[in-house]
Amino acid sequence: MNPLGFLCIVLGVLFVALFALSLNRIKRRKIIGSALYGLQGMVVFLLLILALLIFSNLNTYQRLNHENEIVDVLVRKLASQKFQLVLIYPQPDAINSEPEYYSLYGDEWQLDTRIIKWKSWANVIGLDSYYQLERLSGRYANIEQANDSPPSAHQLTGEQKGLSIWKLKNLMKSNMPFLDAYYGQSIFIPMRDGAKFRVSLSQAGLVVRPVNESATQALDAW
């Protein structure tokens, strides 16, 4: 079980217990005892809400235990500097399980990713790193053409749920004790008709490997 999910269950049980004890003290007309249990219950309730919001936000990410194969990218040429990219998710538990189709303009495709890494002691208690694919866009090799041509970009994630880890960090005005790093990382690869690439993610970051001969030739000629 996810450690945050387990924490939510524990906090929920503790809140119910404190609430019951507070009601019991009221029935026995022990106002001070009831107030103490009620105050403790409110603190636990606030912690429960915070844990639920963080847990909800992390569910929009994928867990990273080792080097994960996160997506295969198949490139099809439609016209000069116009391509269709097919994103195929190999993991059965991926949030996006069906192939996705996107049209891009340019010479290269670029993939943007958000990554959350925890402190080593947090890894020990079961918190693995998380990743989230954020944006797919086209990229021109020529700077002047890039400035003169309209961009082509696609959002890969829907609206995030819960409390953003990044926003929570900013609200606290300091580093969260269990958060090691929260950052974005991008890769860009040449587009070639028929090329298929595999994008993986390790603790060190994104890795792209060619899957077929067309992809190998695209990288060799780049």
Q: What is the pLDDT of residues 108-161, one digit of tens each?
A: 999 999 887 777 666 656 666 778 888 999 999 999 999 999 889 999 876 555
**pLDDT confidence of residue 186:** 94
Q: Assess whether 122 and 41 both reside in one domain.
A: no
Give 190's pLDDT tier (boundaries 50, 70, 90): very high
Handedness of CA 59, 197, 187, 100 (dihedral sign): negative
**pLDDT confidence of residue 172:** 57
- pTM of the entire predicted model: 0.66
Q: How far apart are CA 176 and CA 47, in angstroms?
A: 15
Distances (CA, A) of 126 to 109, 153, 178, 201: 35, 35, 12, 19
Q: Assess whether 74 and 139 both reside in one domain.
A: yes
Q: Assess whether 53 and 77 both reside in one domain.
A: no
Q: Name the residue with higher pLDDT: 56 or 147.
A: 147
Q: Hey, what are 77's tokens? A: 């040429």
Q: Assess whether 192 and 95 both reside in one domain.
A: yes
Phi, psi (deg, nearest 5) at residue 124: -65, -35
**pLDDT confidence of residue 59:** 63
Give 183's pLDDT tier (boundaries 50, 70, 90): confident
Q: Assess whether 25 and 75 both reside in one domain.
A: no
Q: Assess whether 53 and 156 both reside in one domain.
A: no
**pLDDT confidence of residue 28:** 78
Q: Assess whether 42 and 70 both reside in one domain.
A: no
Is the pLDDT assigned to residue 29 strictly greater than 90? no
A 10 A CB-CB count for 126 gives 12
Q: How many domains does the chain have?
A: 2
Q: Assess whether 102 and 208 both reside in one domain.
A: yes
Q: Hey, what are 20's tokens? A: 């019951």
Q: Assess whether 114 and 204 both reside in one domain.
A: yes
Mean pLDDT of 181-200: 92
Q: Assess whether 111 and 25 both reside in one domain.
A: no
**pLDDT confidence of residue 60:** 56
Q: What is the largest CA-CA distance in the chain?
A: 83
Q: Assess whether 72 and 53 both reside in one domain.
A: no
Range scoring the smallest mean pLDDT among 9-13, 23-27, 83-87: 23-27
**pLDDT confidence of residue 162:** 53
Q: How far apart are CA 98 and CA 198, in angstroms?
A: 16
Q: Assess whether 178 and 87 both reside in one domain.
A: yes
List the domain range (segments joined by +) for residue 76.
Answer: 63-220
- Length of the chain (residues): 222
Residue 37 is inside which H or E element, if any?
helix 31-58
**pLDDT confidence of residue 124:** 56
